């Protein structure tokens, strides 16, 4: 199944790794923030599954047409993970700030919820590595799905 590069394999691997990371967050969130609602826990689980799917899909793009530069997986995946967590933080700023305070305390250096962008970059790097290692990247992923 994982011998030839395939976009479907990339998406499956990305979603699976994202789901696994989401499960870790789902089960550890109550220990960090006991007042976290089930809706928040499920939202984080599905969020990282979606981030994994997006990183999987974007594995097709290995070259930036405007800048005329290659985009390696180790740059593309963390950038997407950080961007997605940036968007999440914009929409759920108060909840993310409560989580950061519950996790780190009232440390002024670490009280910004935008630290989730760095966490998203790390998660993106993990997902991107797994998706690229098992599913390939570039145009070859599109050619592998036609058979």
Residue 66: its H or E element: none
In this prediction, the residues of the chain whose per-residue pLDDT falls under 50 are: 145-147
DSSP letter string, 91-141: HTHHHHHHHHHHHH-S-SSS--TTHHHHHHHHHHHHHHHHHHHHH--TTHH
The domains of the chain are located at: 7-143
In the chain, the largest separation of any two C-alpha atoms, in whole Å, equals: 56
Site of tokens 């997902």: 127
Distance CA 102, CA 124 (A): 24
In angstroms, the CA 5 to CA 120 distance is: 25
Query: Cα–Cα distance between 79 and 103 in angstroms, integer?
Result: 24
pLDDT for the residue 129: 95
Q: Which residues contact 130 (CB under 8 A, 6 or more apart)?
A: 13, 14, 17
């Amino acid at each position: 199944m994982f011998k030839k590069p395939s976009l479907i394999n990339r998406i499956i691997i990305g979603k699976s790794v994202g789901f696994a990371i989401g499960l870790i967050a789902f089960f550890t969130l109550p220990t960090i923030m006991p007042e976290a609602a089930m809706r928040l826990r499920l939202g984080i689980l599905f969020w990282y599954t979606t981030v994994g799917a997006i990183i999987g899909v974007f594995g097709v793009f290995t070259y930036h047409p405007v800048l005329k530069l290659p985009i390696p997986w180790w740059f593309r995946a963390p950038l997407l993970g950080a961007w997605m967590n940036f968007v999440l933080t914009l929409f759920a700023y108060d909840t993310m700030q409560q989580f950061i305070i519950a996790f780190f305390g009232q440390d002024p250096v670490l009280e910004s919820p935008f630290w989730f962008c760095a966490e998203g970059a790390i998660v993106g790097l993990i997902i991107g590595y797994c998706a690229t290692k098992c599913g390939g990247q570039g145009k070859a992923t599109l050619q592998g799905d036609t058979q």
